[in-house]
């Protein structure tokens, strides 16, 4: 209906080959001829079929993205970054959600990703199980990861342990001695070792300050309700209550703050809270946080995959992105300090 390149060629009075060259810009075509072809294409409303082109060139102008969730703020930000960058370069983004222990995983790896439909694949917070990593490599296309080390694959991430230590040290520096950590359950490490690394950073900071006995870790889901529940549990005993909480994500921190206030505990007067992420809503809650700019990570990942497609070979290994401590009123000195 929209017309094939043969129609354009006919209308312009040239061969298909010339039309192709004129439209793609590859190969020699005289300016006048090109002009005529372009003209013909536009009057006919011609749009090239990428399928046909892919068949011969081997390039699909399509990047696959594998991600554990779409609906969560953090992942949504990453996706927006990737998509924006891909679109600007004329690439499509095809999305697969791959929940941690979903049975659909196999199908995604064996069927969807294996079909030579992509020029590259971005794996967001995917901890490959079993031979999934090998299957990724077998695709024979550029691969980029976000969120943790993937053997043989260039990955962008933040240094979770350092960031956690940074946040904890901030609380210590304010004079807190009883600092609890609400973080992701180690059993549910959907992504990489993130949860464990943040816990490790927290513990390292405590140890450095000689506060190891004060170690108090409550695992929960990384969401506002998760933070709420954990905080209720943690703060319900008035005699044995921490003065500060390091939450593994801003959502958790916000849930914590909500719970605390509902329990009559003032933030930051009676309880200091610090989170990680730089969530859109952090400001609303005056939340001190370590920003990690997920959207920017998406943009960078897209750039890297595009470079890989263009033939630039990137070094495998983790590239740690800078983070920034943004102080707001949710951390304060402990009472009496």
Partner DNA sequence: GTGAAAGCGCTAACAG
Partner DNA sequence: CTGTTAGCGCTTTCAC
Binding site residues, DNA, CB under 7 A: 4-6, 13-18, 20-21, 23-24, 26-30, 32-34, 46, 48-49, 52-53, 55-57
Q: Residue 8 half-sphere exposure, CB side, CA atoms within 13 Å?
A: 28
- Shortest spacing between CB 42 and DNA, in angstroms: 14
- Stretch (H or E) spanning 201: helix 194-208
Question: Of a second copy, DNA, none, which one does residue 95 interact with (CB within 5 to 8 Å by kind)?
Answer: a second copy
- Shortest spacing between CB 203 and a second copy, in angstroms: 29
- Shortest spacing between CB 140 and DNA, in angstroms: 12
- Stretch (H or E) spanning 233: helix 224-235
By beta-carbon proximity to a second copy, the closer residue of 81 and 128 is: 81
* Per-position DSSP letters for 139-187, written without gaps between them: T-S-EEEESS-BTTBEEEE--HHHHHHHHHHHHHHTT-S-EEEEEE-GG
Question: Of DNA, a second copy, none, which one does residue 187 interact with (CB within 5 to 8 Å by kind)?
Answer: none
Under 8 Å CB-to-CB from 145, ≥6 apart: which residues?
122, 123, 124, 126, 153, 154, 155, 156, 157, 301
Sheet of strand 272-277, all strands in order from the earlier edge strand to the far edge? 216-220, 179-184, 244-247, 272-277, 288-291, 324-326
Q: Cβ distance 123 to 143 under 8 Å?
A: yes
Residues facing 326 on adjacent strands:
289
By beta-carbon proximity to DNA, the closer residue of 29 and 245 is: 29
By beta-carbon proximity to DNA, the closer residue of 37 and 253 is: 37
Question: Of DNA, a second copy, none, which one does residue 24 interact with (CB within 5 to 8 Å by kind)?
Answer: DNA
Q: Cβ distance 243 to 274 under 8 Å?
A: no
CA–CA gap between residue 96 and residue 33 (Å, rounded): 43
Question: Of DNA, a second copy, none, which one does residue 107 interact with (CB within 5 to 8 Å by kind)?
Answer: a second copy
- Shortest spacing between CB 310 and a second copy, in angstroms: 20
Q: Cβ distance 268 to 330 under 8 Å?
A: yes
Question: Of DNA, a second copy, none, which one does residue 111 interact with (CB within 5 to 8 Å by kind)?
Answer: a second copy
- Shortest spacing between CB 48 and a second copy, in angstroms: 7
By beta-carbon proximity to a second copy, the closer residue of 72 and 241 is: 72
CA–CA gap between residue 119 and residue 60 (Å, rounded): 6
Contact residues for a second copy (CB under 8 A)?
Answer: 1-2, 47-52, 54-55, 60, 62, 69-73, 76-77, 79-80, 83-84, 87, 90, 92-97, 104, 107-108, 110-112, 114-117, 140, 223-225, 228, 255, 258, 261, 280-281, 283-285
By beta-carbon proximity to DNA, the closer residue of 113 and 287 is: 113
By beta-carbon proximity to DNA, the closer residue of 4 and 38 is: 4
Distances (CA, A) of 184 to 105, 129, 249, 274: 22, 19, 9, 15
- Shortest spacing between CB 171 and DNA, in angstroms: 58
- Shortest spacing between CB 54 and a second copy, in angstroms: 5
Q: Cβ distance 60 to 50 under 8 Å?
A: yes
């Amino acid at each position: 209906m929209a017309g094939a390149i043969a129609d354009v060629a006919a209308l312009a009075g040239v061969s298909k080959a010339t039309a192709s060259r004129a439209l793609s810009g590859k190969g020699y075509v005289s300016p006048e001829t090109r002009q005529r072809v372009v003209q013909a294409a536009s009057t006919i409303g011609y749009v090239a079929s990428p399928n046909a082109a892919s068949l011969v060139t081997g390039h699909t102008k399509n990047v696959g993205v594998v991600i554990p969730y779409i609906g969560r703020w953090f992942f949504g930000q990453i996706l927006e970054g990737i998509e924006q960058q891909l679109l600007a370069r004329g690439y499509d983004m095809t999305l697969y959600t791959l929940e941690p222990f979903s049975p659909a995983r196999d199908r995604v790896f064996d069927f969807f990703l294996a079909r030579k439909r992509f020029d590259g694949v971005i794996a967001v917070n995917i901890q490959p199980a079993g031979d999934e990593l090998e299957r990724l490599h077998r695709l024979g296309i550029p691969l980029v990861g976000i969120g943790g080390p993937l053997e043989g694959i260039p990955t962008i991430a933040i240094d979770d342990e350092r960031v956690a230590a940074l946040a904890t040290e901030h609380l210590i520096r304010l004079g807190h001695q009883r600092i609890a950590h609400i973080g992701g359950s180690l059993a549910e490490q959907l992504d990489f070792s993130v949860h464990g690394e943040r816990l490790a950073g927290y513990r390292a900071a405590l140890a450095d300050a000689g506060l190891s006995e004060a170690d108090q870790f409550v695992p929960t889901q990384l969401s506002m309700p998760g933070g709420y529940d954990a905080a209720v549990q943690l703060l319900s005993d008035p005699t044995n209550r921490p003065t500060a909480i390091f939450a593994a994500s801003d959502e958790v921190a916000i849930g914590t703050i909500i719970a605390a206030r509902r329990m009559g505990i003032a933030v930051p007067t009676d309880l200091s809270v610090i989170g990680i992420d730089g969530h859109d809503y952090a400001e609303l809650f005056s939340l001190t946080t370590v920003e990690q700019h997920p959207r920017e990570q998406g943009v960078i990942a897209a750039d890297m995959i595009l470079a890989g497609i263009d033939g630039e070979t990137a070094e495998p290994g983790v590239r740690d992105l800078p983070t920034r401590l943004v102080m707001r009123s949710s951390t304060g000195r402990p009472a009496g300090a």
